[in-house]
Every structure is written in C-alpha cells, then in structure tokens.
Amino acid sequence: MTQLVGEPHDARLRSGLVAGLTAYLLWGALTLYWKLLTDFDAFELVGWRIASAALIMAAVLTASRRWVHLRPVLRDRRLLGRVTLAAVLLTCNWSAYVYAVVHDRVIETALGYFMAPLGTMAVGIVVFHEPVRRLQRVAIALGVAAVVLLSVTYGRVPWAAVVLATTWSLYGWLKKEVPLTPLESMAAESFVVLLPAVVVASVFAGRAGSIPSTASAGELVLVLLTGVATVVPLMLFAWAAPRVPLTVLGPMQYLIPTINFLLGWLVFHEELTLWRVIGFVLVWIGLVLVTVDTVARARSVSAPTT
C-alpha cells in the first residue's frame, strides 16, 4: 500500500483504524436512527434519504471541487449504465433494510448482511464462472441450508434477508467495474435516482400520515438529516480505505450485522427461537470457512517460491 505523503505510517494506520471502526459502528447504529421514524412508510423514508444524501453529496463535491471527477460518467454510456444499475441495487437494498427495521425485523437484516459474503461468492461462481474451492462449496451450502431452515421456522421466506444479501452482493461486484472513489460513486448514484426519489416522496406527501403532514419538528429534523447519517460513515470509510489493509478492514464489516443482531435481540426483544439461532450458526460457520479459505489462499499466493 502506498504511504500517503507527509503522513507517518503509524499515524496513518491509527487514523485509518479509528475512521474505519467509527464508520462501521455508525452503520450499525443506523438501525437505532430508523427506529425513531417507524411512524412513516419505509419507501417514503428512502425517498427522503436519497434526496437528502444527494444534496449533501453535492455540497461535498462543491467544497472539495471534485465535480470534474464525475465527467467520465456523463461521457461513457457504459459507465453511466453501470452507475445506474448500481444505484437501483442500492435503492432496493436501502428499501429492504428500512422496511425491515420499521416492521420489527432487525434480526432479519442481520441475517442478510451476514449472508452477503456468501452471496458474493455465489455471484462470482454463477455469473463470472469463477472456480469453486471445496470450502466455498460447503459455505454456500450452509448458507442455503440456513435460509431453508429459517423459512420453515419463520413460516415464510426471510425475504428481507434474501433481498439484502442479493442486492448487496450484486452491488459489490458491480462496483468493481466503476472506476470512481467511494464518495464520487455515492454521489453519482444519488444523482441518478434523485428524480425518482423526489417523485416517490411527492406522491406520499399527498397522503394521510405522510412526513410533511404529520411529522413533529424533531422527526422532520431527523428525516432531513438522513443524508448526513448516510454520507458521514461513507466519508469515514473513504478515509480509512487507503490507510488500512483490506485484511483488517474487511472482517470489520461483520460489526454491522453483529450490532443489528444484538439490537434486535436485546434492545427490541424480537423473537429468537432455538431453530433461528441454529440458522445463524450455520451462516457463521460458513463465514468462518470462507475466512479460513481466504487467509490460506492469500498465504499460498504470497509465499516465496524456490
């Protein structure tokens, strides 16, 4: 990793770790934020979130004079198409997440984000025809078994978890084809879906119980600040990414579903039966296998040859 000019390695790593940890903690704590807005429709909230995030990103790009970095998106139709598809996937992901939180399915969101790495592997195998290693097969099989088991115990498919895992996996793979920084990519995606978001928010505004018609002053402030709540963790992550090795930053992502799992269980007292715990354990075992496989593969690649 290239050392940033004028910043000692230890200080760079330390600041990156603090920023990365804070970003993941804030992402996990977003569940608490959305729980304060459960009186409103989830899709209306997502519309406001996108609009607010787009305004914040516009301010950030203006302050940092980085609008020029979005020119390739306008000039390259293929890149614009990828950004648009990424924006649609992210919108679906946000919608499923917010819907699940406001409808008391926080533990289900945790399952979805725990399953996301397994979903990413599945996308690589099915879409990109990547070779499958033994531990990967076992991990994916455990993930499928967990979904089946939880579907039986819930009495329905845990669709929020499935949508979260699927959209996040596809989004992650698509982002590899978008040559933009996290901030620039987030800005472009927000701008692409801004008009539909405004239309959705406007449609809901004319209904009883909408945010403009019923929100208290405090709730309205929270709604308007959803963009800040979205962008701040992203900016912290963008700061951390070039300073912290991915082998450290990657596993930290499990803080998000861990926080959601604990919130759903201990704070919001959602039902957690033995069979559901077993379903989560299957996913966790799969994640351990994936981590072991990844570390072993990295060591074999980096080992000196004789």
Instruction: Answer yes or no: is 41 within a domain.
Output: yes
| In-domain check, residue 4 | no
The tens digit of pLDDT for each residue in 56-71 reads 999 999 999 989 989 9
d(CA 55, CA 190): 9
Higher pLDDT, 246 or 29: 29
pLDDT of amino acid 48: 97
Give the integer Cα–Cα distance in Å for 115 and 118: 5
Establish if 144 belongs to a structural domain: yes
Section 77-89 average pLDDT: 93
Give the pLDDT confidence score for residue 2 in this predicted structure.
45
Question: What long-range pairs does 197-203 form, CB within 8 A, spacing at least 24?
Answer: 197/46, 197/47, 197/48, 197/49, 197/50, 197/51, 197/54, 197/91, 198/47, 198/51, 199/47, 200/43, 200/44, 200/46, 200/47, 201/44, 201/47, 201/48, 201/51
pLDDT in tens, 190-233: 999 999 999 999 999 988 889 999 999 999 999 999 999 999 99
Q: How many domains does the chain have?
A: 1
Asked if 5 and 191 count as a contact pair (C-beta separation under 8 A), the reply is no
Q: Which of 13, 281, 54 is nearest to 146 (CA)?
A: 281
Lowest mean pLDDT among 4-13, 95-104, 139-148: 4-13
Range of the domain at 28: 9-302
287 within domain boundaries: yes
Rounded to an integer, what distance in angstroms lies between the CA atom of residue 183 and that of residue 136? Answer: 32
Structural tokens at position 103: 């409808």
The answer as to whether 3 is a domain residue is no
Length of the chain: 306
Q: In this structure, is residue 1 part of a structural domain? A: no
pLDDT at 206: 84
Task: Give SS3 for 104.
Answer: coil
Question: Model pTM?
Answer: 0.85
**26, part of any domain:** yes
Higher pLDDT, 149 or 296: 149
190 in a structural domain: yes
- Closest by alpha carbon to 92, among 157, 46, 51? 46
**pLDDT higher than 80, residue 130:** no
- Provide Rg for the chain, Cα atoms: 20
pLDDT digits (tens, 9 = 90+) for 5-47: 555 667 888 888 899 899 999 999 999 999 999 999 999 999 9
* DSSP state, residue 1: -
